[in-house]
Amino acid sequence: MSGINQSSESSGSEFIAPAVAAESSSAHPGNCSDPLTGEDISRARDRLAVAKARGIAQPHKPWRWMRLLWLLAGPGVLVFLGENDAPSMLSYAATGSQFGIGFFLPFILATFLAAWIVQEMTVRLGSVTHRGHAELIFDRFGPFWGFFSMADLMLGNFLTLVTEFIGIRAGLSYFGVPPLVAVGGAIALILAVTMTRRYWTWERILLGLAMFNGLFIPVALMTHPDWPAVGHAFITFGPLPGGLGSQNILLMMADIGATVTPWMLFFQQGATTDKGMQPADVGFGRWDTSIGTLLAAIFGIAVVLATVPLYTHGISTENYQGAQFAQALQPYVGKLGSSLFALGLVEAGLVAAISISTSSGYAFGEVMHHAHSLNRSIKEAWPFYLTLLGSAIAAGAIVLIPHAPLEFVVLIVNVIAVLAMPPALLFLLLLVNDREVMGESVNGLWLNIAGITVTVLLIIAGLGYAVTTVFPKLLS
């Protein structure tokens, strides 16, 4: 696959790169006679801002590093706060209410560290190749695996979208919002954000929404956590009540599944490409991913701490949904705290719904060789927008069907997600070790050791979760 690696840069590459990136995302890759599009112009403007921030125009400008980080950050923060979705936050709530302060606090932090290793490879892959994940699989391993990865992702994404709308509906039900209004409002917001037709604007709006994931922090502080116990849990890895019983193993695997899922690979690589990031930007991509990892870990642990009072007072939360957690917390955090908790669930579902539907649009466009950029107009990239918005509308409609088997959907989506991880991770490792694809940016020894270790552990955990979910008596 000659020509797939575009990692070489010169001092003028800040201005040349947008055309290269746009070429790879056009409907006719490699056709240099294609006219300039709005995507080319928008991305060139973004790269010019990056070039100026690097000091090409103003070499002694102060705060240059912070300016660069502001310009280049986005995909990493969004992918991690998007993964802090409604089902994930409910999983953390179940963790805190069933086990309190202990083993799961450092365990959740460890899962985010594992996720950082995976996503660092993803941002590097996108920055060096200027291609999305599904497109690279299609080009490197053939049409069968390209279509397989796309179909696998889109099925898992669609079912996950259903769970996001369940979370949105459950969170808003705390305020008495009817399901139709809750789902319809969410779809209207997704439509409004997507129709900006500018990646930069879309990214900044979504980052603003994602920051409301921090609503769980004041709720946690309202419970007055036992900070010495929290510190002790992180230092000693805390006790695990009940040992490695079936319920504990299932919860551990659910928390792993709440941190690393296939859509994250496709979304961050697609967003990195759509943003026009270059090999010179990889360092800032790592910072972006690190900030997203840290924020998501803090917010996830805050949910655990917020629900510890339910564990302390012996309240059974085995079958709780979003509104029920908020209601149960009201005696301990007041009306304000419980309202913030419910709003946090709504935000988690909204940001994830936008991010996940976008990853489906990226994958479809990449494999079908249609334009797939948020910098494109609807006329130019209608299959991309149709996939993005159509999947969100269909998922929201399912949530509104009376007596729909939503509990079964929640169960099966986790199984599909963890079964989809092995091929996604294996493809990722193969690609970042392919010198023809990555050039000098291939994985080094220690990156491979870390990546392979995380991949093996995630595969074992994912398959274990799937098996124990389908056959729960195996661990009883």
Please give the residue range of the domain that contains residue 116: 77-475
Q: How far is Cα 317 from Cα 328, in angstroms, rounded to an integer? A: 9
* Residue 66, domain member (yes or no): no
Strand residue runs (E) in 193-330: none
Query: How far is CA 223 from each of CA 20, 324, 374, rounded to the nearest angstrom?
Result: 52, 17, 42
Question: Which two tokens mark 403?
Answer: 């007596």
What are 4-27's pLDDT values in tens digits? 544 333 333 443 333 333 334 444
- pLDDT the model gives residue 414: 65
Q: What percent of the chain has pLDDT over 90?
A: 43
* Residue 71, domain member (yes or no): no
Q: How many separate domains does the chain show?
A: 1
- pLDDT the model gives residue 243: 63
In the numeric block, the tokens 């990239």 are attached to 381
* Residue 88, domain member (yes or no): yes
* Residue 459, domain member (yes or no): yes
Confidence band of 3 (pLDDT split at 50, 70, 90): very low
In the numeric block, the tokens 């976008």 are attached to 358
- pLDDT the model gives residue 247: 67
Is residue 250 within 8 Å of 258, Cβ to Cβ? no
Query: How far is CA 215 from each of CA 13, 205, 329, 351, rounded to the nearest angstrom?
Result: 41, 17, 14, 14
CATH number for the domain spanning 227: value is 1.20.1740.10
* Residue 13, domain member (yes or no): no
* Residue 391, domain member (yes or no): yes
pTM of the model: 0.86
Q: What is the mean pLDDT of residues 342-348?
A: 93
Is residue 464 within 8 Å of 238, Cβ to Cβ? no
- pLDDT the model gives residue 474: 57
Confidence band of 473 (pLDDT split at 50, 70, 90): low
DSSP H or E stretch at residue 112: helix 104-129
